[in-house]
């Protein structure tokens, strides 16, 4: 029997992952910073059309593209003359599990069944777990969801508890843990003991699944309006959502600007027991968006296929109160009740539309289901119980972990620009720290691709 201490299990991480993903990541390595990113994606053996057919088999995809006419009119009332782009939303809550993440899950679960794995394991706080559980139910595979759920007082956020309920309703076994390093340890042990497939958010299978979302946006826009959207706003956390959507747009020949949006949770450490229940967003926030953009390979696989700095044109942040407010506006003006986390990019889009010309169009590329603990009322009530001040006022005064300030007027919703060049330099520094020698010529070319810059920028950053 193999030793099961924390150190022993983590020392076997590479072998466990190789067995659980069925892919030898070493074949893509150069021995330095650079690796064959496109080769890793191609090694899955699935084309875009293959993935579209796979998803059809799970009743996934081809979700509605909705125009938010009333929200557009509100933005135009606040915008300068001639400004106020048309706002559209891709209603991913129409998917079987209620979010876009089932696109990732369908590809992974299909591959797991094809390769003969008896079941699937995923580590997630929620929406993705429900997506994997849904697809496993259709595929006849067993499903285990490892969920970071509680702080040390065994208090769980209502949003996470709701998502655990949904995972169980769809047939998954849910293993709930407190915040901390035990999540990854338990995840590895479960993979090793069961021999199940690792449906990681960060494998090539997952990213290929999201490509269909970007591709659909372009095709639906052309069919409906005879043109491409001018901008697509993507909620950004681990980076897979933006990466896959952007790649799908590119495969459709669409040149829309790709804008990342995250909730500002500056100052809250995501692995901190004391911070865990002082944040009202479990995904789509800067606590994931910033570190995973500047070093993608911090994920649970040796090389992440989610590499958002390769694809984003802009990165903006919004505050928690603004997202909750926009969630209520969406319900009140458009009759669409969706989960707040999925409305991160909607809050950003509302502000961004006011910068754009009236004849332009931008798309919010996903929504998520809501209900029970995911509802904004449950989350705001939980925040108050944890000592967070919740009030109307100026969102600029909001302090993550201390207050949630709902705008007094929609004109107060802002998209705050993130310095992408600063993030690019951070990625380059992180990459350099991963090796004990100067970067090779191939490394320099790779880093230019990683940061969407050129060799001159990389050299200056070094």
Whether residue 90 is found in the same domain as residue 72: yes
pLDDT of residue 181: 80
| Rounded Cα–Cα distance for residues 105 and 200 (Å) | 9
377 assigned to some structural domain: yes
Task: Read off the CATH number of the domain in which 198 is found.
Answer: 3.40.50.1100
| Rounded Cα–Cα distance for residues 386 and 247 (Å) | 40
Determine the structural domain holding residue 451 and report its residue range. 427-461
Pair 401, 388: CB distance under 8 Å: yes
Reply yes or no on whether the pLDDT at 284 is more than 80: yes
pLDDT of residue 151: 84
CB atoms within 10 A of CB 86: 22
Whether residue 150 is found in the same domain as residue 112: yes
pLDDT tens digits, one per residue of 329-339:
999 999 999 99
Confidence of residue 120 (pLDDT cuts 50, 70, 90): very high
Whether residue 165 is found in the same domain as residue 17: yes
Confidence of residue 346 (pLDDT cuts 50, 70, 90): very high
pLDDT of residue 176: 93
Label residue 140 left, alpha or beta by phi (over 0 means left) and psi (-120 to 50 means alpha). Answer: left
Whether residue 153 is found in the same domain as residue 170: yes
Whether residue 193 is found in the same domain as residue 305: no
Among 160, 176, 202, the domain-final residue is 202
323 assigned to some structural domain: yes
Range picked from 282-291, 329-338, 339-348 for highest mean pLDDT? 329-338
Phi, psi of 146 (to 5 degrees): -90, 115
331 assigned to some structural domain: yes
CB atoms within 10 A of CB 350: 30
Q: Please state the domain count of the chain.
A: 3
Whether residue 155 is found in the same domain as residue 232: no
Whether residue 22 is found in the same domain as residue 72: no
Whether residue 383 is found in the same domain as residue 400: yes
Average pLDDT over residues 249-261: 98
306 assigned to some structural domain: yes
Pair 442, 34: CB distance under 8 Å: yes
pTM of the model: 0.96
Among 151, 179, 202, the domain-final residue is 202
Whether residue 306 is found in the same domain as residue 383: yes
370 assigned to some structural domain: yes
Whether residue 235 is found in the same domain as residue 189: no
Task: Give CA separation, 258 vs 41, 244, 345, in Å.
Answer: 21, 11, 12
Task: Give CA separation, 58 vs 54, 95, 302, in Å.
Answer: 7, 10, 28
Reply yes or no on whether the pLDDT at 397 is more than 80: yes
Picking from 388, 389, 395, the residue whose alpha carbon sits closest to that of residue 409 is 395
- Mean confidence (pLDDT) of the chain: 95
Residue 116 tokens read as 């003969």
Task: Give CA separation, 104 vs 31, 199, 377, in Å.
Answer: 29, 9, 29
Residue whose entry in the numeric block shows the structure tokens 């709902």: 406
- H helices present in 170-283, as ranges: 182-194, 204-225, 240-251
pLDDT of residue 279: 87
Strands 142-150 and 173-178: parallel
Reply yes or no on whether the pLDDT at 218 is more than 90: yes
Among 173, 202, 231, the domain-final residue is 202
Residue 399 tokens read as 């302090």
422 assigned to some structural domain: no
11 assigned to some structural domain: yes
158 assigned to some structural domain: yes
Whether residue 170 is found in the same domain as residue 319: no
| Rounded Cα–Cα distance for residues 139 and 171 (Å) | 12
Contacts of 136 (CB under 8 A, 6+ apart): 109, 119, 120, 142, 143, 170, 171, 172
pLDDT of residue 152: 85
pLDDT of residue 180: 80
pLDDT of residue 126: 79
Average pLDDT over residues 16-28: 92
Strands 416-417 and 231-235: unpaired
Whether residue 216 is found in the same domain as residue 262: yes
| Rounded Cα–Cα distance for residues 6 and 300 (Å) | 16
pLDDT tens digits, one per residue of 365-396:
999 999 888 899 999 999 999 999 999 999 99
What angle in degrees, to the nearest 10, is found between the helix axes of 420-433 and 441-451? 150
């Amino acid at each position: 029997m193999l030793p099961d201490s924390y150190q022993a299990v983590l020392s076997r991480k590479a072998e466990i992952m190789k067995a659980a993903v069925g892919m030898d990541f070493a074949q893509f390595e150069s021995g330095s910073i650079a690796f064959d990113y496109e080769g890793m994606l191609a090694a899955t053996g699935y084309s875009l059309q293959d993935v579209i057919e796979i998803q059809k088999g799970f009743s996934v995809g081809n979700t509605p593209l909705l125009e938010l006419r009333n929200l557009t009119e509100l933005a135009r009332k606040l915008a300068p003359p001639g400004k106020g782009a048309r706002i559209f939303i891709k209603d991913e809550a129409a998917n079987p599990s209620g979010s876009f993440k089932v696109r990732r899950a369908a590809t992974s679960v299909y591959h797991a069944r094809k390769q003969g794995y008896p079941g699937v394991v995923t580590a997630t706080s929620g929406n993705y777990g429900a997506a994997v559980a849904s697809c496993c139910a259709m595929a006849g595979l067993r499903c285990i969801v490892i969920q970071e759920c509680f702080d040390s007082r065994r208090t769980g956020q209502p949003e996470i508890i709701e998502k655990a309920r949904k995972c169980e309703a769809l047939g998954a076994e849910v293993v709930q843990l407190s915040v901390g390093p035990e999540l990854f340890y338990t995840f590895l042990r479960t993979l090793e003991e069961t021999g199940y497939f690792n449906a990681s958010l960060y494998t090539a299978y997952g990213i290929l699944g999201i490509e269909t979302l970007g591709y659909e946006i372009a095709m639906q826009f052309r069919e409906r309006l005879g043109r491409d959207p001018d901008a697509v706003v993507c909620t950004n956390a681990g980076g897979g959502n933006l990466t896959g959507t952007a790649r799908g747009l590119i495969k459709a020949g669409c040149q829309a600007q790709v804008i990342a949006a995250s909730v500002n949770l500056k100052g809250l450490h995501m692995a901190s027991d004391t911070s865990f229940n002082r944040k009202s967003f479990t995904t789509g926030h800067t606590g994931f968006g910033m570190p995973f953009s500047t070093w993608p390979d911090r994920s649970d696989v040796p090389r992440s296929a989610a590499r958002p700095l390769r694809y984003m044109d802009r990165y903006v942040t919004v505050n928690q109160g603004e997202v909750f407010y926009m969630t209520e506006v969406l319900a009140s003006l458009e009759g669409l009740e969706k989960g707040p986390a999925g409305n991160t990019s909607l809050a950003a889009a509302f502000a961004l539309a006011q910068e754009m010309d009236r004849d332009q169009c931008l798309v919010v590329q996903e929504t998520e289901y809501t209900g029970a603990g995911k509802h904004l009322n449950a989350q705001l009530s939980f925040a108050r119980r944890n000592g967070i001040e919740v009030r109307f006022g100026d969102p600029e005064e909001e302090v993550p972990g201390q207050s949630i300030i709902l705008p007094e007027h929609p004109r107060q919703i802002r998209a705050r620009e993130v310095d992408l060049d600063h993030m690019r330099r951070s990625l380059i520094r992180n990459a350099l720290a991963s090796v004990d020698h100067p970067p090779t010529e191939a490394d320099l070319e790779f880093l230019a691709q990683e940061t969407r810059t050129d060799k001159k920028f990389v050299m200056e950053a070094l």
